[in-house]
Each structure stands twice: as C-alpha cells, then as structure tokens.
Amino acid sequence: MELGGCFVGLRPPRNDIFDMKLRSLPAILFLAIFFFYPLARILALTLEVSVLTSANLLLTSRVLSFTFYQAFLSTLLTFLLGLPAAYLFARFDFRGKSLLRAVTAIPFMLPTVVVASSFNALFGNRGWLSFLFPLSSFPQPSPFTLILLAHVFYNTTIVIRIVGNALTQLDPRLEAAARTLGANPLQVWTQAILPGLRMPLLAAGLLVFLFDFTSFGVILLLGGAKFATLEVEIYIQALQLLNLPLAALLSLIQLLCTLAFSILYSRLSAQMLVPTAPRPSTARRPRTLVESIYVASLCFLLSAFFVLPLLALPIRSLTRLEADRGERGEVQYGLTSAYYSELFVNRRGSIFYVPPVEAARNSLTYAGATVLLSLALGFPLASALARPGRVERILDPLLMLPLGASAVTLGLGFIVTFNRPLFSSHFSLLSSPLIIPLAHAIIALPFVVRALQPAIAAIPERLRHAAATLGASPWRVWQNVDWPILSRAILSAATFAFTVSLGEFGAATLLARPDFPTLPVAIARFLAQPGGLNYGQAMAMSTILMGVTLLGILSIEKLRLPGAGEF
C-alpha cells in the first residue's frame, strides 16, 4: 500500500486471503465427493468389456441419432418463431410489449413437468381441444409433435433475447447506407444486418440445440420410451432394466456431447460483438399497413402460443370434462374443486399410497435443506471468487461443470456411487432422504454463487477497514457494512436454490424413494395412471407447482441487483 492512499487500493492481508481460500475448501470437497467422484465411477463402468456388445452399440447409435434428430428439428422450429419475434421486439414499439416479452420468458423458467402438464391439459386425450373439438374435426397432435412444440415453447425466449439484443445494438447507419446505395430489403438483410448477427445467431442456435439435446422431462412425459433420447434411455436402462453399465456408457456420451456444446457456446459468446452506437432504442410504432399487420398477427400468435398452455393447466385443474367419468360410468362435467380436496385423501386406503400433499411437503423440505446447504457452501466460495487469483481462475470453470452435466447423469452417478452401506450394514446414503438435497445442492450451487458473487465484489474494502479502524468488531463490520449490501443477493440466491430444488425432475426421478416422492415425481406418477381423478390431481399439483415457481421467479427479479445482469 502506498502512502497517501489510506484505503484506496488496500488489499486484504495474506492471512485474510489464506482464510478465504480455506473457507472455500468445503465447497471444493463437496464437489469432489458428490460430483466428480460419481462421474469417475460412471467412467469406470464404461470400461467394462461386457458393455461393448454389438446390441448395446446399435442401441446407442439409434438413440444418439434420434437425440440429434429431435434436437435439430426443435432448434429449426424455434428459429422459425424466434427470429420474427426477435425482430418484432427489437424494431417495433406497441402496447403491451413488456408484458408479452415477459410472457415469452416464463416457460423457460418453469419445471419440465409443468410444461408437459400444460401441453397435456391443452392437447392431450383429456385436454381442452379434444373436448371442444371432436377427433374427426380436430386430429390430436402426435406425441412427437407435442415434444417439438414444447421445446419451441421452452426455448423461443433464448432467440428473442440473444438475437433481439444484437439487433438493437446494430448501428442503424449500416442499414441507412445500404438503402442509400439502392439495396432492396432483402439485400439490406443479407449484406447489412446478417453479417453483424452471425455470431449471435450461431450462439443462440447452439444454446437452443443444447437444451433440446438434454431434454428429459418433456420427452418422458409427452412421448415415453418410444421416443427415447439419451436422457430417457439412461433412465430406462438404470431404473427399469437395471443395466447400469449401458446407462453409464450413455451418460458418458451425453456428458461429452454436452461439454463440447458448452465449450463451443462459451467461445461463440466471447465473439458476439456487433457494431454499436451510443443511441437510445430505435423501436418505433408501425408506419405502414404491412408493418401493422405484421405486428398484430405476430402478437396474436405469440400470445396464443404462450398463454393458452399456461391458462389451460389451472382451468383444467378446476374443471371436469366429458372425458372424466364416475365409478358408474356417468358423465361428470363442470367446475369443481374436488381435484384439490382429493390431494389430502387416500381414497383406496393403500399402505403404499403417498398422498400428493405429502409429496408437496417432501418437496418443500428438500428445497429448504437445499437452500441451507447451497448457501453454506456457496457463500464462502463466492467470497473467494469475488477476489480472483490464480486458484480462483481455475476454480471458476470447474464450478460451472455441474451445469454441463445433466441431472439424469448426476442421479445415475449417485446410484452407482452411494448404493453401498456407509456406517453399518443397514444404512446407505442412497436409501436416505438426504440424497435428494445433496443432488439438488450440486445443481443449485452454480446459481447461488453467481447470485452472490457480484454483490460480494461490490462491497468496498475501504468501508470494512474504516469500520475496523474505528473499533468495530468483525460482527459489527458484517452487520453495518456487509449485510445492507448482501441482504438482497442472499435472498435472491436462496430463492434460486429453492426454485431449482422444487421443480427439479431428472435426478429426483432416479433418486427419490417411493415413500418420499417429490412433487414433480408425484405429478409424473399420476399422469401415468388411468382415470379422470388421477389426471385431475396431476393437473392440480402442476398448477400449485407453477404458482410457487412463478412467485420464486418474481422474487428473484425483484431482489436481483440492478447491475448484476442476467445469469
């Protein structure tokens, strides 16, 4: 520290730096034991000679081909809707624009079981369209079509945000110069606009493809084993056929593909530079009849596509349709709250039955434990990453690796690793309810660190040292300096972890005990069972889960620091 700069440029003493690194050690050990070690066990299983049979290789080739095929079609359809929508939000101003933009972003943050239930409530055998329109006049979409539509429903907001933001940053003088030189609208697009959008288009396409490639809940609930991707086949081989070596081989392939896509996306994101000019938004009201028709028709299409499934779910949970019949076969229809009241009743009196309200209580308990664990691990880790050094630059990309591994692969790793007794011959971690919060903490930890890190980095060190110089104890320094800055970020991080745990489906499907299911697992079970009552209860549980998730999303948006940006 130089003289004359009492607090400016002041760095923590060496002991403080060592203490920060030491406090991040629990998170490093946690990742090593519950993430890297299970992945190593999966890799060890794939080295068995028995897994490399012609039948397994043929199955792997078929599943991998279908995974790429459905991801490519889904990405293409997402661009068919997302590009016109991105141009709409970037170049035009209209009433309800902010609301419509927010509505398009909601599906991306909803749990997969909620999205699957929404499309089931709208397009399924017991859905609204099959009730309003007979099968002869309105053919029901195939399961594969529903899968593609659900992927578009999920990922359109990625194209809108990445490509739309790039469009707003393009220098308008490029387009004006092209028109001055006599270019027609097509030439303006191909010669003035598209060159600046090349990297954003590639990045958005790769990110959409990545999410479609790793899709699990939507495909399992809307398509089933007939449309098995890598994720679904891992679930089938591990849980239904108990073929752990083949499931491990599929998991390794899935992980390698996902990491390759993630690395490529990171490199593309670093190159997403477009010509910019310091100017306000160029969005304007439509001036011609063609522009007015374009804006009105696209607003109607986006509203119908994104709002109808979200509305169909809660309305269906409160309605008996003609497809729901009583025990004697009589038709029952109209408004009802029976599906919600039945969540508390064991109608069959089975000792193996778990009431849906118990599943909801389990999810809340798991989510609370996930919040405590992820905050306890994430806060010291975020403190270390907020003041980066050589170790932190290595640790930061390692922390992001759980985002590249699917939850299904993580669940399989837990099954392979923790199925042996720990402290006695009668106890294993896999049979304990603790396994769910541990898996969810792995998934939530990157979100928690990313929510806390900007706030911790924003705390001026000179304020801490000034308070200490004036005689404040470490607790008073934390109370008067750190807490006012960190309180919103901590609440936001806790909400992130709570929401992620509450809606997580992939790992919970493999790890949840039959007597301790989570809410998403219970929804999937009820959707798979026949009967109008089971279907209605699934709709009711999905509506509750959607409502809680939306509250979490709104809380995160309200608590997020203004300068923190998006995750």
Give the domain ranges of the chain: 14-40+84-326+338-559
Q: Is the pLDDT of residue 116 over 80?
A: yes
Q: Which of 104, 108, 141, 106 is nearest to 122 (CA)?
A: 141
| Architecture label for domain 14-40+84-326+338-559 | Orthogonal Bundle (1.10)
pLDDT (0 to 100) of residue 69: 94
What's residue 7's pLDDT?
37
The pLDDT > 70 percentage for the chain reads: 76
Residue 390: is its pLDDT beyond 70?
no
Quick count: other Cβ atoms within 10 Å of Cβ 177?
A: 13
Beta-ladder partners of 331 = 325
Q: Give the DSSP H/E element, type plus range, for residue 192.
A: none
Residue 460 banded pLDDT, cuts 50, 70, 90: confident
Angle at 278 between CA 277 and CA 282, to 5 degrees: 80
Q: Let me know the angle formed at the C-alpha of 256 by 249 and 161, rounded to the nearest 5 degrees.
A: 135
Other C-beta atoms closer than 10 Å to the C-beta of 311 total 14
Q: Which three-class secondary structure state does DSSP give residue 513?
A: coil
User: How many other CB atoms are there within 10 angstroms of residue 465's CB atom?
Assistant: 16
Contact (CB, 8 A) for 497 and 374: yes
What residues contact residue 384 under an 8 Å CB cut-off, 6+ apart?
20, 21, 23, 24, 391, 392, 395
pLDDT band at 392 (very low <50, low <70, confident <90, very high): low
The mean per-residue pLDDT over the stretch 489-496 comes to 83
Range with lowest mean pLDDT among 48-62, 117-131, 292-306, 452-466:
452-466
Report whether pLDDT(21) > 50. yes
Nearest C-alpha neighbor of 90 from the set 136, 159, 17 = 159
**Nearest residue to 277 via CA among 195, 204, 170, 355:** 170
pLDDT score, position 472: 67
Most confident residue range from 7-11, 39-43, 371-375, 426-430: 371-375
Give the residue-averaged pLDDT of 400-408. Answer: 77
CA-CA distance, 384 to 456, in Å (whole number)? 9
Q: For residue 278, is pLDDT > 50?
A: no
As a whole number of angstroms, the distance between CA 390 and CA 394 comes to 7
DSSP class of 422: E
Model confidence at 138, in pLDDT bands (50, 70, 90)?
low
The pLDDT assigned to 530 comes to 75
Q: Which of 55-64, 115-124, 352-361 has the lowest mean pLDDT?
A: 352-361
pLDDT score for 166: 79
Q: SS3 of 424, please?
A: strand
| Residue 477: other Cβ atoms inside 10 A | 18
> Binning pLDDT at 50, 70 and 90, where does residue 426 land?
low
372-390 burial, b at 16+ Cβ within 10 Å, e below that, comes to ebbbebbbbbbbbbbeeee
Q: What is the pLDDT of residue 152?
A: 95
* Percent of the chain residues past pLDDT 90, beyond the cut: 11
| pLDDT > 60? residue 194 | yes
| 196-220 average pLDDT score | 86
Tell me if 156 sits within 8 A of 298, measured CB to CB: no
- Amino acid at position 343, single letter: L
State the pLDDT at residue 20: 54
pLDDT at 111: 87
Number of H helices, E strands in the chain: 26, 4
Pairing of the two strands 427-428 and 319-320:
unpaired
Tokens 């499934």 identify what position? 309
Whether residue 324 is predicted with pLDDT greater than 60 in this model: the reply is no
pLDDT tops 50 at residue 11: no
Q: Is 50 exceeded by the pLDDT of residue 304?
A: yes
Looking at residues 510-523, what average pLDDT do you find? 85
Q: What is the per-residue pLDDT for 298?
A: 92
Q: Which of 143-152, 255-264, 506-515 has the highest mean pLDDT?
A: 143-152
> How confident is the model at residue 12, as a pLDDT?
47
Residue 81 pLDDT exceeds 90: yes
- Average pLDDT, stretch 146-165? 90
For residue 91, pLDDT beyond 60: yes
pLDDT in the model for residue 422 = 56
Give the per-residue pLDDT at 455. 78
Tell me, what's the pLDDT at 78?
95
Q: For residue 280, give every residue at least 6 positions away whose Cβ sits within 8 Å of its Cβ, in sequence order, or none.
A: none
**Residue 196: its H or E element:** helix 194-213
Q: Average model confidence (pLDDT) for the chain?
A: 78
- Cα of first residue to Cα of last residue in the chain, in angstroms, is 35
Q: What pLDDT score does 153 carry?
A: 93
Alpha carbon 420 to its chain's center? 31
**DSSP conformation class of 170:** S
Beta carbons of 533 and 437 less than 8 angstroms apart: no
Least confident of 69-73, 231-235, 327-331, 341-345: 327-331
pLDDT of residue 256: 85
Residue 356 binned pLDDT confidence (cut-offs 50, 70, 90): confident
Contact 455, 488 (CB under 8 A): yes
Give the C-alpha separation, 366 to 257, whole Å. Answer: 30
15 pLDDT exceeds 60?
Answer: no
